[in-house]
Amino acid sequence: MSKLAANLHYFKGSILFTLACLALAWFVGLEYGKTTSAALSTLFIVAVLAVLEVSLSFDNAVVNAKVLRTMSPVWQRRFITWGILIAVFGMRIVFPLLIVGIMADISPWQALILASSQPEEYARVMGAAHVSIAAFGGTFLAMVGLKFFFDVHKDVHWVRVVEEPLTKLGKIEAVEIALVLGMLYGVSRLLPEAAVLPFILSGMLGVITFVLVEGVSAMMGADGEGTELVAKSGFASFLYLEVLDASFSFDGVIGAFALTNNLFVIALGLGIGAMFVRSLTIMLVDKGTLTAYRYLEHGAFWAILALAALMLVGSVTHIPEVVTGLIGAVLIILSFASSVRQNRRDGIDS
């Protein structure tokens, strides 16, 4: 079996899922647009959304692999099966409905009816929640990224001139919390007065969520620090990965409304992307890619910090989705290239 065929094996399920979603997209397009042209347009939008989701979440796959490789086989299977159901249906369909329900003071079922019968109003309510969503997702991702770079036990550095001093700063207790709260306050000063309180409260909830997830792991008897701490407890690992996925999905869900107001089209496109991210995660774990390419996870965590910053700044001014996706991809590619060069210096065949 060639290397390409071996790699494609990991994406067999994702490809079948994609074909099923594209078939559904065709019928959704016909149902809403009543013409073949509308159906083709829907297919195109679903494909674009899938690419958008993968580009925004590639760094998510790398971090998932970092945690997943230390989980027991039982919890790995649960993440692959239950996790994908939660990712596709929970985070891309149910969660947006809950947000709209809370913002509009209606039930999730009424929010679903609103999405199907009045998609423009549904999109407006989702847009109104953008500041709070950006604050929660941005602070949670910032905590994830900073925890990695402030880890005092971290001895491999990609951007040494920056990462080595950050490791030393990690000796200061809860320095990442202080830094994130400072950023939260700084960005809040740029917001309209009516948006300040929701922004700060949502951002604080993001920090609290991260602390609670780590606390759950500590109570379950895990050893270590940072992401490794969470990874040694099956349930805590699963919880950590799902919250992480939610934080990554926020940007995709909000950005999707630039292309369509149809909840079902958004769910199909982002669902395809989520499936491919899961397949990529499994491939990275099975092939030991993070071990073979030492700086790859560094690139992923830099990408996470960049996404966190863009989400927070995005609450003040619009950041094009292409910028958000490209920054993560560029950092991952650069870290991979650095890993290959380092392997060559060490005489390791990449």
Q: What is the separation of C-alpha 251 from the centre of its chain, rounded to a whole number of angstroms?
A: 8
| pLDDT at res. 187 | 92
Residues 152, 171 contacting (CB under 8 angstroms): yes
| pLDDT at res. 56 | 67
Mean pLDDT along residues 261-283: 83
Mean pLDDT along residues 158-175: 87
pLDDT in tens, 214-256: 776 666 554 445 455 444 567 777 777 777 777 777 666 766 7
Phi and psi for 266 in degrees, rounded to 5? -60, -45
Q: How many other C-beta atoms lie within 10 A of the C-beta of residue 280?
A: 23
Token representation of residue 266: 């958004």
Question: 303 vs 58, 65, 81, 309, 332, CA distance in Å?
Answer: 9, 15, 26, 10, 7
Average pLDDT for the chain: 79
HSE value, Cβ hemisphere, 13 Å, CA-based, for 105:
0
Residues 262, 312 contacting (CB under 8 angstroms): no
| pLDDT at res. 215 | 73
More confident position, 245 or 334: 334
| pLDDT at res. 153 | 84
| pLDDT at res. 52 | 73
Mean pLDDT along residues 320-343: 80
Mean pLDDT along residues 316-324: 75
Residue 100 scores a pLDDT above 70: yes
- Residue 194: closest CA among 106, 307, 315: 315
Most confident segment among 126-130, 255-259, 304-308: 304-308
Confidence of residue 145 (pLDDT cuts 50, 70, 90): confident
| pLDDT at res. 238 | 79
| pLDDT at res. 178 | 92
Concatenate the DSSP letters of all residues of 55-107 into one string.
HHHHHHHHHHHHHHTTS-HHHHHHHHHHHHHIIIIIIIIIHHHHHHHHHHT--
| pLDDT at res. 222 | 47
- Counting residues of the chain whose pLDDT is more than 70, the rounded percentage is 87
Mean pLDDT along residues 4-21: 79
Residue 337 scores a pLDDT above 80: yes
More confident position, 125 or 259: 125
| pLDDT at res. 264 | 82
pTM: 0.76
Most confident segment among 146-160, 180-194, 294-308: 180-194
Confidence of residue 3 (pLDDT cuts 50, 70, 90): low
- Counting residues of the chain whose pLDDT is more than 90, the rounded percentage is 6
Burial of 189 per CB tally in 10 Å (0-12, 13-18, 19+): exposed
Concatenate the DSSP letters of all residues of 189-256 into one string.
TTS-HHHHHHHHHHHHHHHHHHHHHHHHHHHTT--SSHHHHHHTSHHHHHHHHHHHHHHHHHHHHHHH
More confident position, 108 or 298: 298
Longest Cα separation, the chain: 63
| pLDDT at res. 186 | 92
Confidence of residue 140 (pLDDT cuts 50, 70, 90): confident
